[in-house]
Amino acid sequence: MTTGRTLAETELPAELTAFAAVDAAYPAELTRCYEALRRRLPVLIECEKELAPFLYRSIRDRLKADGSRCLYLDGRAAADLPPPPPGVGLVGAMIHQIREVVRGAVGERIVVLPHLDILTASGGGGGLTAEAREVIPLMYENPEVLWLGFKDPAFPLPAPIENIFPHMEGIIGVPRERLRYLITQREARKLGKNFDPYTLYKHISGVNAVRLRRLLASLTGEDYPADPSGAFKQLRTATLTNDVELPSVDLEKDIGGYKEVKERLTAEILAILGAKDKLSDPVQIAKIESLIPRGMIFWGPPGTGKTLFAKAMATALGAAVTIVSGPELKSKWVGESEENLRGVFMKARQCAPSVIIFDELDSFASARGTYTGSGVEHSMVNQLLTEMDGFRKEELVFVVGTTNFVESLDPALLRPGRFEFALHIPYPSREDRRAILRVHDRRLDLEMTEAAFDHACKRSGEPVPGPNGGTHYSGDHLQALCRQLARTRLREGGSGPTTPDHVDRAIEQYLDLPKLLAAEELVVATHEAGHAVVSLVCKHASPIDRISIRGDIGGALGYVKHADPAHRYVVTYNQLRDSMCTLFGGREAEALLLDDISIGSASDLDYATQIARSMVEQYGDGGIEIGVGRWAHHKDQPTSEHARARIDQAIQAILERERTRAKQLLEANKPLLVALRDLLLDKKVLDRSSFAHLFPTKPAEEPRG
């Protein structure tokens, strides 16, 4: 007997033919087609080729009961029609038959065109073939002819042909509520003790009834298996087409870090679907299915794993994945871009459950009014929305659009009911980078030490090296770093642990870094040591992670890398003042130890001036009234010469105060400055642990001026 979602074996048919299965799977669709024909309305059925003969037979049998007759035109000899001319081929024979029917006497017979798509499909470039140009006027010639046409979803029909048919029926897959009538008792035994149509439906929702009967009849294995996953895998594998994949990406094991992203994806999608699988009440199941978003936007910078997260979601759902590049869908031919989209959705529905991933969704779904191409993008967006609106609620087909520019997407896509679920996947944080590195360390057998992990996390907090650098490290960059480590180990026959030095080599060995002479190196070491000592002395400066005189990817001869501030969202006046003081440290160290100043401090002075100007004009420092400062900050507002002079004086006073403080701090800590400079000249690169012994206690800061 039925218990919840499961069915007793005795409630299933003992035997089932393909014709009986079609009748059982599509009773509503067949009835609608039959009734339309009885009202003398031409009918067009869109279905897969293998299904068309079975649908025709079911409709014909119903019509026979009412005394109606059909004339089936497939190019083969027909008793009531003259034979076609010799040598015309199958398509020519069908056209000959249509001509004879239209211009002859067929009485009340219904004329069946099983290959209407082949006869009238559009040619390359969206134009009509010679056959289509001949068939279209023929079908309009005699309005008394009642047509029943069949077309495959993969073949578009010209609009004049579609307009002939006031009743159109599309058939994809099987409705879930009819699944109980499509499996025999013997086949159900291969799927476990109690047959659950909901579980089976997840694996075959896009398969038509005829193909489903073939797949079920081919099931192998023992009866009543304790674990029926093998049988389900047989079915799932058989439903996949050549251009889709069944991914194997574990959300936790294969994707490092991103705790918040994983939690949201799990809570909003995976957990809801998991809860649905445990329900037995069809009403509750339908309610949950109506809540699941079918359209999703995964947005964030390039290389952060948007497609990887979509594959992980598909893996958790047992779904096939179709990856579509937005630019590849576009065509210069009218209507072909939309047909490309229809084809993508058709294949995805046929192998559901499935996830369609549109990479670079913004390439054709930008906000209307911003298109710079042929205008086909607007039609593609409309076609995309039409396809999404056509999903059955129980149909597990999800659409994921990935984009680097979510702000450029058409707002119509983002409203509820369409792409209503937006998931931001940012650059990885320090903790995320460590977790990502661990994933690649395990896969590539790098044997990274904890020190190497720490060092790689620090280095990946810097801008990405190379000619196209300047961005933050993404997951793809971290993977490339680990692959470089693996190649170096393989090339050099290395074994043993990967150390911080290996990480540095992997990042820098092919970079064109500045090469300094000894005298130049002394200046750079003095400059960077000055920055570092002032920063270490100032109470409100961020901790130092790294000091280098080997140059960096941006062309700087050296640098001091600070750790992320403890409070990233609240900035105080004291922090700004200490930042300016640190910026003056390099210049004043050169003056103190070298009795000369290089032009390398120009960028430091520019940045310090920007901070001071902001403090005066925006934040009300320097004795300038806030209203006057903020008024002057807006360049389009007129400001008096007197007010401008007061603002410039306040800025100069702040800068001079911090320069003087930096000078005093360096004079008070000159031995430390010299020791740190000499250590830099020796080691070239210093991590925090490398110079900590120079500062056993934090030097006392001089009183502020």
Q: What residue segments make up the domains of the chain, in order of their start?
A: 27-170, 175-239, 259-424, 430-508, 518-694
What is the rounded distance in angstroms from the CA atom of residue 315 to the CA atom of residue 295? 17
CA 545 to chain centre: 34
So what's the pLDDT on residue 130?
82
Q: What is the pLDDT of residue 20?
A: 93
Decide if domain 518-694 falls under CATH 1.20.58.760: yes
What is the reported pLDDT for 585?
92
Per DSSP, the chain holds a count of helices (H) and strands (E) of: 30, 13
Rounded Cα distance, 180 and 440, in Å: 46
For 258-270, letters b (16+ CB in 10 Å) and e give beebbeebbeebb
Query: Low-confidence residues of the chain, pLDDT below 70?
Result: 1-4, 105-107, 122-127, 241-243, 326-336, 365-379, 390-394, 465-470, 494, 510-516, 551-556, 564-569, 620-640, 696-705
Other CB atoms within 10 Å distance of the CB of residue 391: 17
Residue appearing with tokens 């499961």? 6
What is the per-residue pLDDT for 206? 82
Q: Quick check: 75 and 90 in contact, CB under 8 A?
A: yes
- The pTM for the full model equals 0.72
The reply to whether domains 27-170 and 259-424 share a CATH topology is yes
Cβ-contact 704, 539 below 8 angstroms: no
Closest-CA residue to 701 (of 560, 574, 515): 574
Q: What is the pLDDT of residue 548?
A: 83
Q: What is the pLDDT of residue 1?
A: 45
Beta strands in 210-353 (DSSP E): 295-299, 320-325
* The pLDDT of residue 277: 72
Torsion of CA 258, 261, 264, 270, to 10 degrees: -80
Write out the CATH class of domain 430-508. Answer: mainly alpha
- Per-residue burial over 598-621, b if 16 or more Cβ lie within 10 Å, else e, is bebbeebeeebbebbbebbbebbb
Phi, psi of 115 (to 5 degrees): -125, 45
C-alpha 422/C-alpha 414 separation (Å) is 8
Which CATH number is 259-424 given?
3.40.50.300
Q: Which tens digit of pLDDT belongs to each residue from 58-90? A: 999 999 988 888 899 988 887 778 888 888 888
Note the helical H segments in 445-551.
Answer: 450-459, 475-491, 500-508, 518-537
DSSP string, 123-155: -GGGPBPHHHHHHHHHHHH-TT-EEEEEE-TTS
Write the single-letter amino acid at 522. Answer: L
Q: What is the pLDDT of residue 228?
A: 85
| Gyration radius from the chain CA atoms | 36
What positions carry a catalytic annotation? 528
CA pair distance 324, 244, nearest whole angstrom: 10
| 420 contacts 295 by C-beta, under 8 angstroms | yes
Q: Put residue 109 in one of left, alpha, beta given phi > 0 → left and psi -120 to 50 → alpha.
A: beta
Terminal Cα-to-Cα distance of the chain (whole angstroms): 89
Q: What is the pLDDT of residues 290-325, one digit of tens each?
A: 778 888 889 888 889 899 999 998 888 888 888 887
On whether the 27-170 domain is CATH 1.10.3470, my answer is: no
